[in-house]
Each structure stands twice: as C-alpha cells, then as structure tokens.
Amino acid sequence: MRPLNGIRILDFTHVLAGPFCTRVLADMGADVVKVNSTVRAAANNAPNSPYYAIWNRNKRALALNMSDDEAKDVAKSLANQADVVIDNFSIGVLDRWGVGFDEVSKTNDQVIYVQMSGMGAGGPWSDFVTYAPTIHALAGLTYTTGVPDGGPIGVGFSYNDHQAGLHAAVAILSAIEARRQTGIGQRIDLAQFEVGVAMIGVSLLDYFANGKVAQPCGNRPPYDKFAPHGCYACRPEGDDILDERWLAIVCRDEDEWQALCHVMGNPDWCRSEAFKTMDARCENAESLDSHINSWTKARDATTLMYALQEKGVPAGNVQPGIDLAESDPQLKAREFIRFMEEPHPGLGVTFADRLPIYFEKTPCDTYERSRTLGEDNVSVLADWLGMSEQEVRSGEENGHFT
C-alpha cells in the first residue's frame, strides 16, 4: 500500500518538468499512464533514451496516435476515467486534440486538469517557448548565481524543471484535497516561469522594500552575516578540473568558529583582531578565506570534513556525480541508488535514485523500469476502458495505438 494508490493520472507530459511531477506521484503509488506516440518518440522523448528512462519509471506506457480520430476518442474516454490529466505542452495543444479542459470537464467534472506551460495561459508571453535554461534566465536565477563581476553563470542543471514538477505535484494533491470538500475537480494553470520567479521571492521583497537589486555573491550568503562561508580548494587528485577537491565550510556562530580554529591547530592569525567577532570576520572575509585556503590546499577534503564535523563545524565535500554514485556512504546506507530488477529492452540495466521521502506506514520502495512505446497498451486499455486484448491489438494494427 502506497499513499497514492487508486489515483489515476493521464500523462501527456514530455522532457523533464512534467515527467518529474508524474514520476514523484507514480513513486507514491498513483497509476500514471504515460501517453506517447511513434511520431513524438524522438530525442529525449524516445523510450530508449536514458533521459526518458530516468523520468518515466513506475509508469505504464500507452501509445496513441493523436493524429488519428479513433485514438483521440480513446484519449477522451481515458480522460473521463482519470482523476488527473496533465500536460506540459504550449497552451492549446490538448484542446486541439479534443482533450482540453473545457471538453473533458463536460463529461468528467471530477477531473483535475493541469497545464504546466512555460508562461501560463494568458498574457503577452503566453505562447513563448521555454526550457529550463530559458526560465532560469528570465526569472533571475542565471543572473544571481555567479561571482561578483564574473558575468552570469547560473545553475548548472535544469533546476527549475525539478521545482516545476514538485510544485505541480503539490498543486495536484491540493486539488485532490479540495475535491473532497467541493465534490468537483478544477483546472490548474502552472506557469513554470512563475515557479522560477518564486524562487527569488526574498530578493524581490528586498527590491520592493529597499530598492536593492540582488547581485551574484559566489558562496557568500547574500543577506546574512556568516563567515567563513565558502568552498575551499583541497589537495587535488590530479591535474584535470574533475580531479579538484573542494570543501565547503560554514561558521554561523562563535562556537563553530572556535571549533574550526581548534581543528586548524589554533594558528596565531585566528586570534587577530581582524577575525575576533563575526562582524570582523565578515568584514575581512577575503583575508579569512585566504588563510583557510592555505590550511586546506594540501590536505585531504574527506579527512578534513570528518575532523570538522566531529567538532561541530558544518563542513562537506563538494561531491561530483561519481562520488554520489560510488562512494557517498550516506547514500549507500540509505540504498539511494538501486538497479531495476528487469532489464530495459533498449538500455539493459537501468537505475533508480530513490524517492527521498520515507513513509512509516506506506513505504514507497517499488521501482520498475520505464516502459517502451505502447508496452502497456493492453493492460491500460483493459483496466481503464475494459477493452479486450483483441480490440487493442486490432487498434495497434490499424495505427490507432502506435
């Protein structure tokens, strides 16, 4: 028993933001039917792409040729059975297929209909095309993540796609709770851009209240007085950038600072007036960082991390993907990376990074590989619409379910 057992989701999403939402819901037990088609199964939407495989685990795969009228009718029938219909196309695509909210809600007033477009319905930018890097740029995330005078760097991965997916999951589950009170479903218009802008909410308030425009500040905290607060180079393992080793160290109060000084062997500079108080350390942060860098640069990052944490100083290795996958003892202990029991027909052995939510009574420990195009046509159409295998196979032969 998982917490979302019994919830049916008809999933027209693609790439990352939408599939991440439905992956989280599928991990928690929802019956997610991922709709794809021969025409659309290309690049990151191709079931043999590793990218697709990662974001579409635990879902069932249905192929519908949406240029075909019979397939459109089946899509409409499926939508009538769904608790949730979700897409992240530009506004209007599902309307053209006859499964837009206005059409579906006529026959299924319980449906929760989620549109995760880039810019939302309405407004001068409504039709704009976006991916996560577009949203990062437009929402201020690219400008603010960087170093002073270093030009925009931004987040090194599609952060906003994950956030938009999680926000869509929150919205869907909120609407399911609302449905219990009102008895009806509703439409949810989630603009991925608005999710991105919400991520800099504090800086926006600072702008509105004080007229201050947030600037990139490297690893220093933008608003709080904490020092040291940085990533310090440690002994590298070779000459390549991938061989660099870095250690993040943060001192938020006097106890943490004194503990850091102790681990460093209480060098004389620690006792100088320049570093006596938090205010002084913040004022002289550059010099402080330089001293700490001198201490870390020839030392092993992991050894330092354990030594510092043991004395109560927040410290952590900067872990590249290899560390996360191979050597992170915490992730290993929690079995964060698992391998799918059943090999993927196109990719062989695939992996799952587990849902980071541990339910005491309804554990979510089931991970099934992503499915190939239309692999679950028979089971989905039987379970949701009561169709026989013969009917489904005939629909496949006639090009409806392809």
Residues contacting 285, CB < 8 A, separation 6+: 220, 227, 228, 229
337 strand-pairing partners: 353
Q: Which of 37, 65, 134, 372 binds another protein (CB under 8 A)?
A: 134
Q: Which of 88, 144, 296, 372 binds another protein (CB under 8 A)?
A: 144
142 is a site residue for another protein (CB under 8 A): yes
143 is a site residue for another protein (CB under 8 A): yes
Instruction: Return the H-helix or E-strand segment holding 245.
Output: strand 245-250
| Rounded Cα gap, residues 52 and 36, in angstroms | 11
In the complex, what is the shortest distance from the CB of residue 395 to another protein, in angstroms, rounded to a whole number?
Answer: 30
119 is a site residue for another protein (CB under 8 A): yes
Question: How many residues in the shown chain lie near another protein by CB under 8 A?
Answer: 154
76 is a site residue for another protein (CB under 8 A): no
Ranges within 182-211 binding another protein (CB under 8 A): 182, 184, 186-191, 193-195, 197-210
In the complex, what is the shortest distance from the CB of residue 88 to another protein, in angstroms, rounded to a whole number?
Answer: 13
92 is a site residue for another protein (CB under 8 A): no
Distances (CA, A) of 109 to 69, 106, 182, 245, 345: 23, 6, 11, 56, 39
Residue pair 44/51 in contact by the 8 Å Cβ criterion: yes
Active site residues: 161
Nearer to another protein, 71 or 261 (CB): 261
Nearer to another protein, 261 or 392 (CB): 261
212 is a site residue for another protein (CB under 8 A): yes
Write 148-154 long-range contacts (CB < 8 A, 24+). 148/215, 148/216, 148/217, 148/218, 150/216, 152/216, 153/216
Give the per-residue contact string, 221-260, with another protein (x = CB under 8 A; - = no): xxxxx---xxxxx------xxx---xxxxx-x--------
In the complex, what is the shortest distance from the CB of residue 391 to another protein, in angstroms, rounded to a whole number?
Answer: 32
**What is the amino acid identity at position 267?**
P
Q: What's the full length of the chain, in residues?
A: 402
Q: Which of 277, 303, 362, 388 binds another protein (CB under 8 A)?
A: 362
In the complex, what is the shortest distance from the CB of residue 394 to another protein, in angstroms, rounded to a whole number?
Answer: 34
What is the distance, to the nearest Å, from the Cα of residue 261 to the centroid of all Cα atoms in its chain? 38
State yes or no: cis peptide before 228, omega within 30 of 0: yes
399 is a site residue for another protein (CB under 8 A): no
Cα torsion 75, 80, 83, 86: sign = positive
Nearer to another protein, 62 or 99 (CB): 99
Tokens 């681990």 locate to 263
Residues contacting 315, CB < 8 A, separation 6+: 247, 248, 249, 250, 304, 305, 308, 309
141 is a site residue for another protein (CB under 8 A): yes
316 is a site residue for another protein (CB under 8 A): yes
Ranges within 318-337 binding another protein (CB under 8 A): 318-325, 328-331, 333-334, 336-337
Of 31-39, 60-68, 143-151, 271-279, the window that binds another protein (rule: CB under 8 A) is: 143-151
317 is a site residue for another protein (CB under 8 A): yes
Closest of 318, 312, 249, 252 to residue 282, by C-alpha: 252
Ranges within 160-179 binding another protein (CB under 8 A): 161-163, 166-171, 173-178
In the complex, what is the shortest distance from the CB of residue 376 to another protein, in angstroms, rounded to a whole number?
Answer: 23
The structure tokens listed for 273 are 């007036």
Ranges of H-type helices in 139-218:
141-144, 159-182, 192-198, 201-210
261 is a site residue for another protein (CB under 8 A): no
68 is a site residue for another protein (CB under 8 A): no
